[in-house]
A and B are shown apart, each in its own frame.
Chain A
Amino acid sequence: MQWDVVIGLEIHVQLATKTKIFSGSSTAYGAEPNTQANAVDLAMPGTLPVPNEQAFRYAVMFGLAVNAEIERRSVFERKNYFYPDLPKGYQTTQLERPIVGPGYVDIDLANGESKRVRIHHAHLEEDAGKSLHEDFHGMTGIDLNRAGTPLIEVVTEPDMTNAEEAVAFAKKLHGIVTSLGICDGDMSQGSMRFDVNISLKPKGSETLGTRTETKNLNSFRFMEQAIAHEVERQMDILEDGGTIVQETLLYNGDRDESRSMRTKEEANDYRYFPCPDLLPVEIDEAFIEDARNRLPELPDARKARFMDQYGLNDYDAGLLAGDSKLAAFFEEAVSHGKDAKLTANWIQGELSARLNAEEKSVAESPITGAQLGYLVVRIADNTISSAGAKKVFEALWSGESDNVDAIIDAKGLKQMSDTGALESMVDEVLAGMPDQVAQYQNEEDPKKRKKMLGGFMGPLMKASKGQGNPKLFNEILVKKLGG
């Protein structure tokens, strides 16, 4: 049987405010446990929440960036459940009146097509603390540093049909919130967490199947794997004539397996009701205009500009413009390196490979945009070969030196481009290889001739101690060998 896959996402985006959503505590990551939790965060008796205006500004900026309606009067509600890392015994969140109403995001797919994913709404809420189950000898440690950190939860319509679309949407959203500067986008620290709702239905059917929710995926790779895993699991069940149980799953990326957290029957009754400690949030026109004026260039606009300004193709522009830090790196490099296409190739090739291998973000790159730019300049002006450029890149990466020209000098990577000297080397080498020369000249197939040229390059590079400009050697060879 053929199946349609239906995917919807819920994304928790941690807002990069300096202080918490309802208290003055710092939100900085990585502090000693419970050093960033004050009386309000600890839910001490009598303490009250005071809303952080910056969180509302960020939420409104997000809403504008995803073409959404802004709710002029949004309401905080209490979501009641007991858990030790939830100090008040309820989470302050929004339900009936979220601050961001319906919107949409367009995503680019590998086949070159674009697809619209609708956003149902996005609401503001506070994060919980962390429960630490290790190192406490059978007890649980509670760290409330994160408790009260502002989040927006973005809820999409079930508009995605496969992992590629879901990941493309997730990356696009990541690009939007980091471009807005409302989230640091650091997924390893939980700054963005994805919940994936998946259901299957017979191909073409109008009726949605029973869905499961896989929670807390904190990398694009895990998200892709978890979707593949869950789609396969559901398909196996359905093909065997079984039924899907509505449940919440936790995916373990290291083992590529999921386990059930709770089924629908075990679901809590959260007893939502409007929080009486907080007045409804009134957002007026002036506040929205102010937020609109703060909107920076967003990925879609940046992509168009990259194509226009740098002549990049759709693919390169989309990739580089999608992430604000990558885009900034590219623009810094190209401002020094001039050759945009070559710069783009180096960022997507060597740089990305090294960053991935060492699990670093572009912000953590040991090579700066300017350095890469200088490197590209030296490739473009034929000072170094691409093999030499890789050696320079290595030296920059490892921190041997931070100066491209100094590295070229120190390592003797400068290409020999003196045509006279190169010509005499070619003459010398050809004189020593009469058989190969004859073989070449008797060959009629241009493809084979081209291949045979390579046989002369080795001895030539050796003769020039690796410094001969391969491009020039090639030209001279062709000329001397008579085409």
Chain B
Amino acid sequence: MHNKSVAELSRELESGKISSLELTQQFLDRIKSEDGQFNSFITVTEEQALADARSADEQRAAGKATPWTGVPFAHKDIFCTNGVRTTCGSKMLENFVPPYDATVTENFRRAGAVCVGKTNMDEFAMGSSNESSYFGAVTNPWGLNQDEKRVPGGSSGGSAAAVAARLVPAATATDTGGSIRQPAALCGITGLKPTYGRVSRYGMIAFASSLDQGGTMARTAEDNALMLNVMAGFDPKDSTSIDRDVPDYTATLNEPLKGLKIGLPREYFSDQLSPAMEQQVRNAVTEYEKLGATVKEVSLPNAKLAIAAYYVIAPAEASANLSRFDGARYGYRCEAPKDLMDMYTRTRAEGFGAEVKRRILVGTYALSAGYFDAYYLKAQKVRRLIQQDFINAFKEVDVLMSPTTPSPAFIQGEKTSDPVTMYLEDVFTIAINLAGVPAMSVPAGFVDGLPVGLQIIGDYFSEARLLNAAHQFQQVTDWHQREPQ
């Protein structure tokens, strides 16, 4: 059962071949026996999951099932879950139990899905390797047969590893600069970052509010579509969510791709990309040509500025977003503070990890009097130029394709001492967040036995087209079905 997709499991449940209780128990058992090697979960909610499975079985028996009723899945531990601790990968929230659900959490609950636990992540979603988690690094299920363990990518590394290792068929994730697509690529699964504003951010712990977007991770494009059907939509609790109809994303999966215009941004096929990686991506594009698509080269002239702009804007927003973690109302508080200043400084010194502190410092600096114009305002101008690049590109083509990452999964510890090298992991993904457009990563081959991701980027609100393109590719390839050894 653990190799089946959400769509398949849904059919099994509907046919009565298995109950949600049995299915949930199987996945829980699998997490128990396998996750020791991956560390992809921070919290497993066995009791709650079994209770939810029972009520899902009752719902189904009563004829009130949705496609998700009784299907096990996991939430990235950034989504608040009422009554279940939500850590965001941080010591600061090690014992934080929210009294409310994120809108995404509520949506899955209402759909009858069974959450088996909360997945590991980089602390406050800051990282590209899942090594900054207070709850320990996550190991990529791929490359376990090699000498050294590989990172799963980040920040949604726990979700990606759990899906790749078949511990759950699907998991929620978030993407601020590549945090869905990069781990999806490194773990050989399919992930989607929707258009900014498509999925509510309410109850999703903020890293950089203008860039954060909740999204989907599963092995197939179809399952991503099923997830987005539940997650997308306007939320009156999030002023930045967009009031726009939500299509049935599964309805257009089988549209033919004939005539699809694909653009290859020349800036994303630079010498940063290894020839072996490039070969895999070009092979994938060839598959699309066989499906009837046409291909041309396009340019995103300002893409090279994306990392610089991102590492001003994201830390600036984060520096304010993380001010609430002050020890006053919830979360970690230092022992026996002498006075207010002592409480603030020690709580935050002890509660945050190194990467989080680094970004708070960078962001505080960028917003400081005398530096604001040179950093923050300049970065916002660059952001508008990058947005315009994408708008221009989509006047010429329907989708853009590129590698998701410059190289496959790297070795644990390899980049932790050099933050800038780590930041370059997001060189192909980060501009998409600055522009706010949607993008996917789809398994597209292997280099040295490690998965390679193809990034498909679309115009605003073109999620249905992206899922369609990914699904059609998965009908003629089986990269997404490969199982780590």
Q: Which residues of A contact B (CB under 8 A)?
A: 39, 42-51, 78, 80, 82, 84, 87-90, 140, 142, 269, 271-273, 276-279
Q: Bound complex: CA of A44 vs CA of B78, how far in Å?
A: 13
| Tier of interface size on chain B | 35 or more
Beyond known contacts A43-B324, A90-B320, A273-B317: 10 more, CB 8 A cutoff: A42-B329, A43-B329, A47-B100, A48-B202, A48-B237, A49-B239, A89-B326, A271-B368, A273-B316, A273-B372
Q: How far is the CB of A261 from chain B (nearest CB, A)?
A: 16
Taking CB as reference atom, which chain A residue is nearest B90?
Answer: A45
Contact assessment for B324 and A89 in the assembled complex, using a CB-CB cutoff below 8 Å: yes
Q: Contacts of A278 on B, CB cut-off 8 Å?
A: 239-240
Contact assessment for A39 and B100 in the assembled complex, using a CB-CB cutoff below 8 Å: yes
Q: Contacts of A39 on B, CB cut-off 8 Å?
A: 98-100
Q: Bound complex: CA of A272 vs CA of B369, how far in Å?
A: 9
Main secondary structure of the interface of A (DSSP, over half): loop
Q: How far is the CB of B219 from chain A (nearest CB, A)?
A: 28
Q: How far is the CB of A395 from chain B (nearest CB, A)?
A: 54
- 6 interchain pairs, CB-CB under 8 A: A39-B100, A44-B99, A45-B331, A48-B201, A271-B364, A279-B240
Contact assessment for B320 and A45 in the assembled complex, using a CB-CB cutoff below 8 Å: no
A46 contact from B98, B367, B369, B372, Cβ within 8 A:
B98
Contact assessment for A50 and B237 in the assembled complex, using a CB-CB cutoff below 8 Å: yes
Main secondary structure of the interface of B (DSSP, over half): loop
B376 contact from A82, A87, A273, Cβ within 8 A:
A273
CB of B344 within 8 Å of the partner chain: yes
CB interface residues, B 186-217, toward A, < 8 Å: 201-206, 208-210
What total count of A-B pairs have CB within 8 Å?
104
Contact assessment for B236 and A50 in the assembled complex, using a CB-CB cutoff below 8 Å: yes
Contact assessment for A46 and B324 in the assembled complex, using a CB-CB cutoff below 8 Å: no
CB of B170 within 8 Å of the partner chain: no
Contact assessment for B98 and A269 in the assembled complex, using a CB-CB cutoff below 8 Å: no
Q: Contacts of B78 on A, CB cut-off 8 Å?
A: 46
Q: Contacts of A42 on B, CB cut-off 8 Å?
A: 329-330
Contact assessment for A44 and B100 in the assembled complex, using a CB-CB cutoff below 8 Å: yes
B328 contact from A48, A51, A142, Cβ within 8 A:
A142
Contact assessment for A47 and B344 in the assembled complex, using a CB-CB cutoff below 8 Å: no
Contact assessment for B323 and A46 in the assembled complex, using a CB-CB cutoff below 8 Å: no
Q: How far is the CB of A192 from chain B (nearest CB, A)?
A: 28
Contact assessment for B202 and A47 in the assembled complex, using a CB-CB cutoff below 8 Å: yes
Contact assessment for A44 and B240 in the assembled complex, using a CB-CB cutoff below 8 Å: no
CB of B86 within 8 Å of the partner chain: yes
CB of B88 within 8 Å of the partner chain: yes
Contact assessment for A45 and B240 in the assembled complex, using a CB-CB cutoff below 8 Å: no
Taking CB as reference atom, which chain B residue is nearest A37?
Answer: B329
Q: Contacts of B93 on A, CB cut-off 8 Å?
A: 45
A277 contact from B209, B324, B368, Cβ within 8 A:
B209
Q: Bound complex: CA of A273 vs CA of B368, how far in Å?
A: 10
Q: Which 4 A-B pairs have the closest CB atoms?
A: A89-B323, A276-B209, A276-B210, A271-B367
Known: A44-B98, A48-B201, A78-B320. A87 touches B86 (CB 8 A): no
Contact assessment for B205 and A273 in the assembled complex, using a CB-CB cutoff below 8 Å: no
Q: Contacts of B210 on A, CB cut-off 8 Å?
A: 276
Q: Bound complex: CA of A87 vs CA of B323, how far in Å?
A: 9
Q: Contacts of A47 on B, CB cut-off 8 Å?
A: 100, 202-203
